[in-house]
Amino acid sequence: MTAKNDAGPDSTSGAGSPEIPNDEGANTRSGYVAIVGRPNVGKSTLLNALVGEKISIVSPKPHTTRHRILGILNRDGHQAVFVDTPGHAARTQRAMHRLMARAIHQAVEDCDLILFVVDARGMTDEDEKLAEMLRPRFDRTLLVLNKVDTVKPRSRLLPMLERLAKEYPFAAFVPISATRRDNLDGLLAELFSRLPPGPPLFPPEMKTDRDLAFRSAEIIREKLMHVLHQEVPYGLGVEIEHIAKTEDERWLVHALIWLERESHKPIVIGKGGEVLKQVGREARLELCDLLGGRVHLEMWVKVREHWSDSERELKRLGFDV
């Protein structure tokens, strides 16, 4: 089901291949597509599902995504460059939060299209604030109603779609479930039909602009966020100090886990080192898939107070400053 406010492809249920224009030569389509929304609406899950590979880490905790991350999809000669952004929330004075807010606004300004992701169970005040920010760009914004699998019966979506269509004249309204990959083809058909003509922006084999060190650090941070208490994850960062292959064809990864408070150090390490061992086990499994071989992972926990308020430290951790 895909509702539209202007001309576009016919409604689709997600079955089969998307109806993507397939002109030859200079008429191929490519462009940047920003994925925006409040925390925990499924932006990173959607990016990974669209690209077909884990590009952005996922956790149930807000603000898991801190960086601008590109995910690149090639389809029938066309290319969509998705820009995953941090969750939109109230600003604070911390440098890290300022950079996160800057990443959102820059993506909205620079991208050819915007996917505004909301939870199908209802709009919040934060969603409505973001919708108002996007109002001057409604003609290039697609409202993506995610998590439709949580709405029973599905017919309950219709009144919400009708109300949103009256209040917000977005270019299209596309209900999906990113986790179940429901109607992703319909979403792709909508966005590819609206991308500007042009050649691919990146080589076809490229899936992201982030290197192995950054992606390895993010995997470790994801595992930490899954096991740590609510107050700890937001004061931690992960830096890859060394990553290389050894003579016996193993990958050697040295990671530094930075904390802002000394009191958090025993929590992250755990009694007898159990928390860090669990994180290491889970991270190694995923790093083996990412790096394509055996991995020896060593991690050290260090404290550096107020690192999230230092643009110099943030730059070391992969932030655009």
Give the per-residue SS3 of 29-46.
EEEEEEEECCCCCCHHHH
Q: Which residues contact residue 175 at a Cβ distance below 8 angstroms, ignoring those fewer than 6 apart?
A: 1, 2, 120, 145, 148, 157, 161, 183
CA distances for 18 relative to 33, 171, 185, 187, 200, angstroms? 17, 18, 5, 8, 19
Distance CA 182, CA 33 (A): 20
Between residues 232 and 235, the one the model is more confident about: 235
Query: Where is pLDDT greater, at 268 or 103?
Result: 268
Confidence of residue 311 (pLDDT cuts 50, 70, 90): confident
Answer for the pair 118, 129: CB distance below 8 angstroms, yes or no: no
- Average pLDDT over every residue of 110-130: 93
Domain 3-194 and domain 212-316 have a common topology = no
Q: Is the pLDDT of residue 68 over 70?
A: yes
Residue ranges of domains in the chain: 3-194, 212-316
Q: Which residue has the higher pLDDT, 33 or 10?
A: 33
Task: Tell me what pLDDT residue 82 has.
Answer: 97
Distance (Å, whole) CA 66 – CA 314: 11
Q: With 90 as the cut, is the pLDDT of residue 196 above it? A: yes
Predicted TM-score (pTM) of this structure: 0.85
**pLDDT of 24 above 70:** no
Write the CATH number of the domain with boundaries 212-316.
3.30.300.20
3-state secondary structure of 20: coil
Q: Which CATH class is domain 3-194?
A: alpha beta
Could you report the per-residue pLDDT of 135-147, keeping only the tens digit for each?
A: 999 999 999 999 9
pLDDT at 16: 37
Percent of the chain with pLDDT over 90: 62
